Structure 1
Amino acid sequence: MDSSAPSHLEQRLTGHLQTLYPKLDASELARNCLTTFHLDANSEPPRPHKNLWDQSDIMLITYADTLRSEESTPLETLHKFVKNNLSESISAVHLLPFFPYSSDDGFSVMDYTTVNPSSGDWTNISNITKDFKVMGDLVINHCSSRSMWFENYKAGVSPGAEYFYETAPQSDLSNVVRPRTSPLLREVQTKNGIKHVWCTFSHDQIDLNFENPEVLLEFLRIIRLYLEKGIRWFRLDAVAFLWKTPGTNCINLPNTHEMIRLLRLMIEHWAPDSVIITETNIPNRENLTYFGNANEAHLIYNFSLPPLLINTLVTGNCSHLKSWLMGMPPAQQGTTYLNFVASHDGIGLRPTEGLLSEWEIDTLIGTMKKFGGKVSSRTTPEGEAKPYEINISLWNALSGSVLHGPDQWQFARFLCAAGVQMALEGVPAFYIHSLFGTENDHERVSNTGQFRSINRHIWQMEELEHALNTNTHHKKVFEAMSRLMKIRRAQAAFHPNATQYVLHMGDELFAFWRQSIDRRQSLFAVYNISDQPQTFNLSELNLIATEDWTDLVSDQRYEDQMAQVTLMPYQFMWLANKTTRPKD
């Protein structure tokens, strides 16, 4: 074999680059990428279709500074709290952007290589990676208008001179899909005259130009730094908008998928245990394409779950949730879903397109407004403003029902949502405020002027510790959530890739069956999603007669497999044959 011949890795990389940059020497660029990334061209490829997770994986989503104390930096405070209180409940921590930023609570990054000094430093990040898997945000679509790159762009010097996407106002932008209502283009005075730069999200967030390979090389340096600091899970923020071609809708373009395949190729050769997660808040069918052929995202966000599950619990009807779940393809081995119900952002409405009617969406929006929520809008290609997301804390979102408003079932409804999230195929990810039942923060909205701040409360540790040690709903939520998480982590049938089948038990009972990969454990998850008691017969579940069956939630054992079961409002059961109890 010719030792000078390109390696298999180099050949694959060259293929991706040839597609992205057909006018350049792809072979030379491939060698440059490998050198920049400090990657040996002969690195062994990871085993394909390998699951890099199991039932013990539960993710915590949090900002670096959500928990604050006068005694330590926010990152140190967070690490201490999670290590002391959640070591048996979670396996991974998603640290939302922890870099210096100018707006959008971290998503207008000024410097990708520095930890925001007000939160801590890289040592704090690396310390967390020693105890938990850590997912970091790769804010890849845009950066801050106050970044060094953008200052250099305006001055016409490197790095940055050609890092940003420009287009003329007269370009055909009529089909561009937008997640915001602000003007798409921002006029900027530069050394070379007036330019118009692309701003998908806000005029403080300038879109990067990946048509320039120097931008790719810059991000390879950034990714390598994160890998060196111990980060192994990568969230590709807003990646659906990455590539632009005027005259198209500029979302989900083929070159965007090609870029994801390239980044995955590089990252998983550097660290075979790395995981790519795409953040694409778009209709369900489009979202599913980010799995590629098991060669793009390892995990995709299950964006349709939050609005559908919340709608189910406030209407008392699971028909839409059930129909959606029946239509979701089982993930291939080596891929799975990231299941979340609450996050730092709002409840996305685009993922309901084709799943809920306009009337049902309007009813959901109206109900959430009654519970203290706000609504953010986007601009359609026709120039109309359309609701984009509902901004509300999950605790408040589940405070009542469409018909009766706030009621006495808030806690039960809240726990029911968590019970569904933990049991579905995929890896569950819990926003830190879902562990405490944090309420709407209207004061923070007033201070920032941003609707999303309603669900971005900052806890002072003294205040939080008092809430978790006194007779509050925060304590009740935290203890119940911790218990359920520990139970979930011990069940093989809850492996993210275990078999899942939807059961048909009417509109008020949502149910599905999970079976472990080795087929030894079967588990029936049955949820009363209404505010009235619901009764069913165990015979409807076709339980294996030779097995003993126990509800893991209540610890009740069922010897009579023809027995009638009544679930109180929002009560649920995880009925399993082989039971594994978490350690005390």
Structure 2
Amino acid sequence: MENAPLSHLEQRLIAHLQVIYPTLDNKVLSEKCLATFHLDPATESPQPHKNLWDQSDIMLITYADTLRRKDEAPLETLHQFVKSKLSDCISAVHLLPFFPYSSDDGFSVMDYTTVNPSCGKWDHVANLSKDFKVMGDLVINHCSSRSLWFENFKAGVHPGADFFYEADPSADLSAVVRPRTSPLLREVQTKNGEKHVWCTFSHDQVDLNFEKPEVLLEFLRIIHLYLEKGIRWFRLDAVAFLWKIPGTNCINLPQTHEMIRLLRLMIEHYAPESVIITETNIPNQENLTYFGNANEAHLIYNFSLPPLLINSLVTGNGSHLKQWLMSMPPAQQGTTYLNFLASHDGIGLRPTEGLLSEWELETLINTMKRFGGKISSRTTPEGEAKPYEINISLWNALSGSAQHGPDQWQFARFLCAAGVMMALEGVPAFYIHSLFGTENDLDRVNNTGHFRSINRHIWDMEDLEHALNTPTHHQKVFQSVTKLTQIRRAQPAFHPNATQYILHMGENLFAFWRQSLDRRQSLFAVYNMTDQPQSFNLSELNLIATDDWTDLVSEQVYEDHLGKVTLMPYQFVWLANKRGRVKSIS
């Protein structure tokens, strides 16, 4: 009896496996992959180049336990807060790692299959996924040295005996690119003698060895579990470092890209509405390669946006931001950018390479230090320590200017930054502390000894509720930012894939044009990036003469299409010819 012909899915899966594992029987391995993922080989392919998002999509980034209430699971506290306060403002929640961990606030995962009991249960995650899209972290490059897998590695038993990448300490590893200054290899005593395991990030985060197909199969089981629990958006953490070949830089290798294509193939066949986001904090041109040919990441992080936008707002010069955006390719249909200004990590500096001069970078770093920030470093292949990221809260980062230091324009500057991020091509994502204007948490830095803790404050719900219900800057930030999100979600011109065109209005004004996919709504976003009033003539914009134009932010109508507009420091306008209907805050 002849073998049945392979399905389209099987053919594609085998093709990916051939690139990654050229010496293996990949027909057998493909059968194992499909069985592990509970995926029928006859499953039809999802529609290509389909946008799985629209202008209503805004993401919240948060730890599962950022909000805490006495005698309540933090995941339940978070769900209640988001549902009651943000249901008209966001559509998706990125839950940073909520698993048992040993360090790095969750990114040293000990067990990928259970929820940290201090956060809650899988039921809490599943319930959240019924009200919002949930993005989970797939910490795929490494796991904890205190995990069962690593204990098994040391004992020489499965699963785990061959799960970790080993290297010869005498090998030339000088070309390896890393984001840390700690030694790359860690010496480990095992049942089978001394071994040296690869640690891209820390000695508690041991890199997994995807050269072993058993590691791939294990992660397919994990991804399937997450899908069953309602997670549909997947953040591939530190995925650029996944594949190692000594003698190379061990970053962005072809096998890494092929692995992402394989994971996407499996995930989108199982759940066609799923989305993959790659977390690759690397120079801009390298980051863009993770779109592939619209067959890798659906979304990539716009890592250059935070440092460039913050630099523009503290220097009063938007030239570098404008030049960078002019060079960015419009994302293909079915792909887009994830725009953010702050996250649980710091403000990455590698994405500024080739965009800011050494002098400009030094000025930015010194300004952030002046505002209470800390600087984390990495080791270059030459063995030199180099600034890697700025650790600071967004509220403090925008507290003043590089020229004059802290000033009275902190709130206006902060809101301007949010206004830029929400209007650009892509899906905007707010770190939860950027909704509250949370300040630098220096006590937490002192307690943990880690600079990143400065922007990982834990809010007691009674304190937060008091801050949001009394005249504080927290209340002002929350009310103003959430109002902007509601305006944004109603405008077709803010669809993540709507046309974007950067305008030339000098270095003090930053401006661009967006047009809805159906070309009915045009919207001009113009921002004063300085601490001085700035004026422009409406004749500089291509306003359609037959339409009425309204600033969606202030609701001012501009009848004179040739008139002059004066923007106060850090003020901005969203001038639109049509207005989407905004829901009232519940």
SS at match of 2:569: coil
SS in 2 for 1:547: coil
- Amino acid aligned to 2:53: W
Match of 2:394 in 1: 394
Q: Note the alpha carbon deviations across 1:301-320, whole angstroms, 9 max, x for none.
A: 00000000000000000000
Runs of 5+ in structure 2 lacking a partner? Answer: none
TM-score normalised according to structure 1 size: 1.00
Where 2:125 maps in the other structure, the secondary structure is helix
- Aligned equivalents of 2:274 and 2:454: distance in 1? 33
Aligned pairs (5 A) from 1:531-550: 531-550=531-550
Q: Following superposition of structure 1 onto structure 2, how do residues 440-519 of structure 1 map, counting pairs within 5 Å?
A: 440-519=440-519
Letter in 2 for 1:517: L
Equivalent residues, number: 584
Q: Distance in 2 between matches of 1:172 and 1:407?
A: 51
| SS of residue matched to 2:324 | helix
Cα deviation per residue 1:324-366 (whole Å; 9 max; x = unaligned)? 0000000000000000000000000000000000110010000
Report the Cα offset of residue 21 of structure 1.
0.7
| Cα displacement (A) at 1:252 | 0.2
State the alpha-carbon separation in 1 of the partners of residues 315 and 72 from structure 2.
Answer: 44
- The 5 A counterparts of 1:152-231 are 152-231=152-231
Structure 1 residue 171: Cα displacement: 1.2
Q: Which residue of 1 aligns with 2:555?
A: 555
Q: Deviations over 1:255-287 (max 9, x none)?
A: 000000000000000000000000000000000
- Mapping of residues 275-290 of structure 1, within 5 Å: 275-290=275-290
- Work out the CA distance in 1 between the residues paired with 2:249 and 2:42: 39
Calculate the aligned-residue CA RMSD, in Å: 0.8
Structure 1 residue ranges without an equivalent (≥5): none
- Amino acid across the alignment from 1:128: L
Per-residue CA deviation, residues 375-425 of structure 1 (Å, 9 max, x unaligned), is 000000000000000000000000000000000000000000000000000
State the partner residue of 1:376: 376
Q: Whole-Å Cα distance in 2 between the matches of residues 412 and 40 of structure 1?
A: 54
Q: How far 1:2 moved relative to its partner?
A: 7.6
Query: What is the identity, as a one-letter code, of the residue corresponding to 1:347?
Result: I
For residue 366 of structure 2, what is the aligned residue in structure 1? 366
Q: Following superposition, which runs of at least 4 residues in structure 1 exceed 3 angstroms of deviation?
A: none
C-alpha displacement of 1:71: 3.7
Letter in 2 for 1:504: H
Distance 2:172 2:251 in 1: 15
Instruction: Show the counterpart of 2:355.
Output: 355
* One-letter amino acid matched to 1:106: G
Q: Distance in 1 between matches of 2:448 and 2:174?
A: 32
Amino acid at match of 1:164: F
Which digits, 9 at most, give the CA deviation of each residue in 1:60-113, with x for residues without a partner?
A: 000000000014110000000000000000000000000000000000000000
Counterpart residue number, 1:337: 337
1:4 Cα deviation (Å)?
1.2
Query: SS of 1:76's equivalent?
Result: helix
Q: Mapping of 1:215-254 within 5 angstroms?
A: 215-254=215-254
Secondary structure of 1:125's aligned partner: helix
Alignment partner, residue 427 of structure 2:
427
Alpha-carbon distance in structure 1 between the residues aligned to 2:378 and 2:3: 55
Aligned to 2:385: 385
Rounded to whole Å, the distance in 2 between the matches of 1:133 and 1:480 is: 24
* 2:310 aligned partner: 310
Q: For residues 91-110 of structure 1, what are the structure 2 equivalents within 5 Å? A: 91-110=91-110
- For residues 554 and 402 of structure 1, the distance between their equivalents in structure 2, rounded to whole angstroms, comes to 29
Identity %: 82
What is the deviation of 1:53?
0.1
Letter in 2 for 1:57: D
3-state SS in 2 of match to 1:120: coil
**Could you tell me which amino acid in structure 2 is paired with residue 486 of structure 1?**
Q
Q: Corresponding residue for 1:12?
A: 12
Paired position in structure 1 for 2:571 = 571
Cα separation, 1, equivalents of 2:93 and 2:552: 26
Q: In 2, Cα distance between the equivalents of 1:8 and 1:178?
A: 38
How many Å separate the matches in 2 of 1:581 and 1:87? 16
**Shift of residue 3 of structure 1?**
7.5
SS at match of 1:369: helix
Alpha-carbon distance in 2 for matches of 1:347, 1:3: 55
Q: What residue number does 1:118 align with? A: 118
Q: How far 1:581 moved relative to its partner?
A: 3.0
Mapped to 2, the partners of 1:544 and 1:146 lie a distance apart of 63
CA distance in 1, matches of 2:339, 2:446: 31
Distance (Å, rounded) in 1 between the aligned partners of 2:293 and 2:91: 27
Structure 1 residue 583, shift from structure 2 partner = 1.7
2:129: which partner in 1? 129
Q: Distance in 2 between matches of 1:413 and 1:487?
A: 19
Tell me the SS of whatever aligns to 1:249.
coil
